[in-house]
Structure 1
């Protein structure tokens, strides 16, 4: 692991979280999403970003079981993993920070299945930032396989039209 880890910091509720920068494609203003029926409650719908259709998930719903309030500061962070691309709806995307390895602490909750995507907590100048592994996040989401299948089928049918 390199001495410093760059991460995109964002806010959900009153807490700060971060995704490692290598997974972040872009940070977008909230666009209108196309709702898809029968998907889990945390899925807001799909949106087209740079020609690619991606599902958008409400991270506040995933973490706190409540709908995010959409306002001027609301953003979605476009993540790309080998499994799929995903838009993560957050209260605000704040900054890119360098997290020195010695400031990153593993947390005991990693064994807890519902939060297995929390990989550590960065303790930076009176700030606690929970670092999230996007791959583990995607794998932990209920119903995500169905969403992946839907996206694959939708992408194929779009290529043929």
Structure 2
């Protein structure tokens, strides 16, 4: 991620969530809401990481399990499990995460380009890694987590 000098001075507000032992972040501007897990209706012939759909305030929203998307072992949902509803292009997509922890400001000057793999997650899905005092925060690139083609395919399905 190449950064211009003026970008290094700015901060981005991110939602911090947990997957396995790693902390990840998504820019608040892309997050529409954080929901408790509800009944997910399975949809046939979708990729394994697409858990199905939910009816969220009248909007049928596809649900992606980030553990499955990133090749991490799946676990039972708990009281801490959340669905982070994000905007990817023109679509709303729910991302199942182990827990949603925090909202923090991340100085762009503290964000390094991602290494090839972090916690088993390919660099393609990552925007960078923020070094914040005693923690590392992996920033997701939502446009890559769900490619344009995948979003188009999800959008074309008759939910």
- What TM-score results when the alignment is normalised by the length of structure 2? 0.85
Q: CA deviation at 1:64?
A: 2.9
The structure 2 residue matched to 1:128, chosen from 124, 130, 136, is: 136
CA contact (8 A) 1:83 1:135 kept: no
CA contact (8 A) 1:56 1:89 kept: yes
Q: CA deviation at 1:147?
A: 2.0
Aligned equivalent of 1:158: none
Q: CA deviation at 1:140?
A: 7.3
Aligned residue for 1:64, secondary structure, equals coil
Aligned equivalent of 2:84: 77
Within-5 A mapping of 1:116-155: 116-139=124-147, 144-150=151-157, 153-154=158-159
Aligned: 1:68 with 2:79: no
The alignment of Structure 1 onto Structure 2 pairs a total of residues equal to 149
Q: CA deviation at 1:116?
A: 1.3
Aligned equivalent of 2:3: none
Deviations 1:83-109 (A, max 9, x none): 421100000000101001111111243
- Give the distance between the partners of 2:130 and 2:144, measured in 1 at CA: 18
Aligned: 1:7 with 2:14: yes
CA contact (8 A) 2:115 2:123 kept: no
- Give the distance between the partners of 1:140 and 1:120, measured in 2 at CA: 20
- In structure 1, the gaps of 5 or more residues are 155-161
Q: CA deviation at 1:39?
A: 1.1
- In structure 2, the gaps of 5 or more residues are 1-6
CA contact (8 A) 2:51 2:63 kept: yes
- Give the distance between the partners of 1:52 and 1:69, measured in 2 at CA: 25
Q: CA deviation at 1:3?
A: 1.2
Which structure has the highest helix share of the two? Answer: 1
